[in-house]
Amino acid sequence: MDELVELYQEMILDHSKAPRNFGRLDPHTHHAEGYNPLCGDQCDITLTLRDGVIDEVKFTGAGCAISTASASLMTEAVKGKPIENADVLFAKIHHLLTTDDPPADDLGKLQVFAGVRNFPMRVKCATLAWHTLRSALRGANDVVTTE
């Protein structure tokens, strides 16, 4: 188990230091901002939806390592996928972070966040990007908070 924990930490560190899909998409079809007041994390997501598929997605933001890594891994996970897949992933991530059940096999790299549930204060850091993505997909331009 310690090896797994180390692997998780390495992947989170890697994505927080070198976030994937970092930046702003212009033009874009959807946009939302998210804020996690507990930790001060900010997340700004722009994406382009084409025929129900998330064609391109980028994020900017400032926050802790977990929130940045989560946004980075989220963009990798949903890019090129239909909206429905993003919704399913959101539900699985939420389940992963808020229960003690074993991670779903098909979560792939997102399983790294299993390590976060031991730190309840950080769960909202890990879900911020997902809440923001959902808000963007729903076309709500309001700022979402994790509260």
| Interacting positions 30-59 with Zn ion (CB under 5 A) | 39, 41
Least distance from Zn ion to the Cβ atom of residue 48, Å = 27
Interaction between residue 67 and Zn ion (CB under 5 A): yes
Whole-number Cα distances in Å, 82 to 56, 57, 71, 90, 104: 11, 12, 18, 13, 19
21: its two tokens: 């899909």
**125 or 137: CB nearest Zn ion:** 125
Interface stretch with Zn ion, choices 23-31, 43-51, 117-125, 131-139 (CB under 5 A): 117-125
Least distance from Zn ion to the Cβ atom of residue 36, Å = 6
CA distance 119 to 96: 13
Task: List the one residue from 42, 53, 56, 64 that touches Zn ion (CB under 5 A).
Answer: 64
Query: How wide is the angle at C-alpha 111 spanned by C-alphas 73 and 81, nearest 5°?
Result: 50
Least distance from Zn ion to the Cβ atom of residue 124, Å = 7
**16 or 67: CB nearest Zn ion:** 67
Interaction between residue 135 and Zn ion (CB under 5 A): no
Least distance from Zn ion to the Cβ atom of residue 64, Å = 3
Interaction between residue 125 and Zn ion (CB under 5 A): yes
* Binding footprint of Zn ion on the chain (CB under 5 A): 39, 41, 64, 67, 125
